[in-house]
Amino acid sequence: MSSSLRPRPVPGLGSALIGAEEEALVLDVLRRKEPFRYYGTDFKSTPPMVATLEKEFREYIGTDYALAVNSGTGALEVALAAMGVGPGDEVILTAWSWISCFTAIVRTGARPVLAEIDESLNMPATEIARLVTPRTRAVVVVHYQGVAADMEPIVLEAHRRGIFVLEDCAQSLGASYRGRKIGSWGDVATYSLQYNKVATCGEGGMVVTRDQRIYERAVRLSDLGNYRPYHATIVPPHEAAFVGGQYRMSELQGAVALAQLRKVEQIRARCRALQARILPRLAGLKGLSLRKNPDPDGDLGFEPYLLLDNPAHVAPFREKLDARNVNCGARTGTYPQYNRDYMKSPHMTAHPATSPFRDCQEWPAPGYRPADFPRTESITGRFIALPLGVLYTDADADHIADSVIAVHGEVCG
Ligand SMILES: Cc1ncc(COP(=O)(O)O)c(C=O)c1O
């Protein structure tokens, strides 16, 4: 392209806004010399950062309890075990989902049962009816890249059958559905605060729930079985002690995460404004549709998706956008579970006896082969992601829309 090519805009959501607010809270932790969440230098008082983060998080989501942990993966492991998912159980999960959604289920001893996505790139409620068995204990609903799944029919379908709903909100902190924040619809929800997420502290996670028992179990699972006095002030303990892992968040992570949580609405507003400059201009382009969205008032808007009718158009379309310095991708780190390395044999766990697939006679077993997912294969082979950053300018957004229209004319015209 010519030397007048527009420079590539700087990507990033919360990470791009790290600044004075994060700095001030981190310095506060360091100056007090109190980086541990459960006690400070007097070994008695509760330091403020993680506790305040949990309080503001549950208020923001509109739920009763929030527990900070050290990653989104840790949040999934804790939440699944807190619901009582374990060996012999099945958990329904979209095949198109992040590594941890699958591995966290496997690590409880339960078997992930893979569902198709629809054009929203999320799970439709009809997949629960198709895949449920007497062993189904839970469904993990991933709100993929800023757009809520269609929660009302999902929750109705799952609860009618006595199945728990876990909302994985790792990629969608701040999105809402029918006027309520996602994470407040299911029995439990998890979040990630990893670097690429809406809000970040490098590594971090959150478990939220309205259920006192799930909260207490999650606390114990995250802290070596302990239920410390701080949590007893929130919910008095009822459960017999059991063995837990160590998934605690530090005050340093909590400080950054707190400053970032306070910026989520700003990030959401900016990304939605950028998206609103782009999407209306693309409606009606022949052979191209936009990601289905069950509630256009609620999404975060940081990653519009184009779905091309013709899969052969995807590679040239992307190359031409890239040549115009438009950030775009066919993948976002997510790809189908059935194509992942750990799926090469049913002995996918560190110790083969703990694999939920150890008794499978053939592998890949039915339900774990690409041919079993015609809809997911078709959709994911046809889309182009247009990631936006919170620092993108209006002119950057206009350049994206201009480029898509021009490239559409060249490739699909
Ligand atoms: C849908 C989903 N779930 C869980 C996770 C895991 O989060 P973390 O990287 O904080 O462990 C991610 C991270 O990318 C994710 O996208």
Query: Taking 90 as the threshold, does the pLDDT of residue 332 lie above it?
Result: no
Mean pLDDT score of the chain, rounded to an integer?
A: 96
Q: Which amino acid is at 239?
A: E
Q: What CATH number should be reported for the domain whose range is 20-261?
A: 3.40.640.10
Please report the pLDDT score of residue 278 as a whole number. 98
C-alpha 256 – ligand 1 centre gap (Å): 18
- What is the residue with the minimal CA distance to atom 12 of ligand 1? 170
| Percentage of the chain exceeding pLDDT 90 | 94
Q: What is the DSSP string of 203-239?
A: S-EEEEES-HHHHHHHHHHHBTT---HHHHTTS---S
Closest to 194 measured CA to CA, from 182, 206, 208: 206
Q: Which amino acid is at 51?
A: A
Closest to 15 measured CA to CA, from 174, 196, 268: 196
**What sections of 228-367 are H helices per DSSP?**
229-232, 251-261, 264-282, 314-323
C-alpha 278 – ligand 1 centre gap (Å): 27
Are the C-beta atoms of 187 and 148 separated by less than 8 Å?
Answer: no
C-alpha 216 – ligand 1 centre gap (Å): 23
Q: From CA 82, how far away is CA 105, in angstroms rounded? A: 12
Could you tell me how many residues make up the chain? 413
Q: pLDDT tens for residues 145-185? A: 999 999 999 999 999 999 999 999 999 999 999 999 999 99
Please report the pLDDT score of residue 330 as a whole number. 67
Q: pLDDT tens for residues 238-283? A: 999 999 999 999 999 999 999 999 999 999 999 999 999 999 999 9
Q: Which of 69, 98, 122 maximizes ligand 1 atoms within 8 Å of its Cβ, making it the mutation to test the pocket?
A: 98
Query: Taking 90 as the threshold, does the pLDDT of residue 2 lie above it?
Result: no
Q: Where in the chain is the domain with CATH 3.90.1150.10?
A: 264-330+381-411
337 lines ligand 1 (CB under 6 A): no
Q: Count CB neighbours of 325 within 10 A.
A: 16
Q: Where in the chain is the domain with CATH 3.40.640.10?
A: 20-261
Exposure b/e, 367-382, CB count within 10 A at least 16 = b: ebeeebbebbbebbeb
C-alpha 407 – ligand 1 centre gap (Å): 33
Report the Cα–Cα distance between both ends of the chain, in Å, rounded.
21
Question: What architecture does CATH give domain 264-330+381-411?
Answer: Alpha-Beta Complex (3.90)
Query: Taking 60 as the threshold, does the pLDDT of residue 3 lie above it?
Result: no
What tokens were used for 64? 């009763």
145 lines ligand 1 (CB under 6 A): no
Query: Taking 80 as the threshold, does the pLDDT of residue 83 lie above it?
Result: yes
Report DSSP state, residue 181: E
Q: Count CB neighbours of 353 within 10 A.
A: 7
Angle at the Cα of 297 from the Cα atoms of 296 and 298, rounded to 5 degrees:
90
Please report the pLDDT score of residue 255 as a whole number. 98
Q: How confident is the model at residue 335 (pLDDT cuts 50, 70, 90)?
A: confident
Mean pLDDT of 126-135: 98
Please report the pLDDT score of residue 218 as a whole number. 98
Please report the pLDDT score of residue 331 as a whole number. 62
319 backbone dihedrals φ, ψ, rounded to 5°:
-60, -40
Q: From CA 190, how far away is CA 83, in angstroms rounded? A: 13
Q: pLDDT tens for residues 18-28? A: 999 999 999 99
Q: Which amino acid is at 357?
A: F
Please report the pLDDT score of residue 4 as a whole number. 76
Please report the pLDDT score of residue 356 as a whole number. 97
140 lines ligand 1 (CB under 6 A): no
Least trusted range by pLDDT, from 25-39, 96-110, 336-350: 336-350
Please report the pLDDT score of residue 207 as a whole number. 99
Q: From CA 400, how far away is CA 394, in angstroms rounded? A: 10
Ranges assigned E (strand) in 6-160: 65-69, 90-94, 96-97, 111-115, 136-142
Least trusted range by pLDDT, from 81-85, 333-337, 353-357: 333-337
Alpha carbon 147 to chain centroid distance? 10
Q: pLDDT tens for residues 350-409? A: 999 999 999 999 999 999 999 999 999 999 999 999 999 999 999 999 999 999 999 999
Among the atoms of ligand 1, which is closest to the Cα of residue 194? 10
* Cis amide prior to 364 (ω within 30 degrees): yes
Q: From CA 226, how far away is CA 308, in angstroms rounded? A: 52
Angle at the Cα of 331 from the Cα atoms of 326 and 337, rounded to 5 degrees:
175
Please report the pLDDT score of residue 329 as a whole number. 80
Are the C-beta atoms of 5 and 325 separated by less than 8 Å?
Answer: yes
108 lines ligand 1 (CB under 6 A): no
205 lines ligand 1 (CB under 6 A): yes
Q: From CA 34, how far away is CA 93, in angstroms rounded? A: 40
SS3 content of the chain, % helix, strand, coil (to 5): 40, 15, 45
| Percentage of the chain exceeding pLDDT 70 | 98
**Angle at which helices 72-82 and 99-108 pack, to 10 degrees?**
40
Query: Taking 90 as the threshold, does the pLDDT of residue 413 lie above it?
Result: no
The verdict on pTM exceeding 0.95 is: yes
C-alpha 197 – ligand 1 centre gap (Å): 9
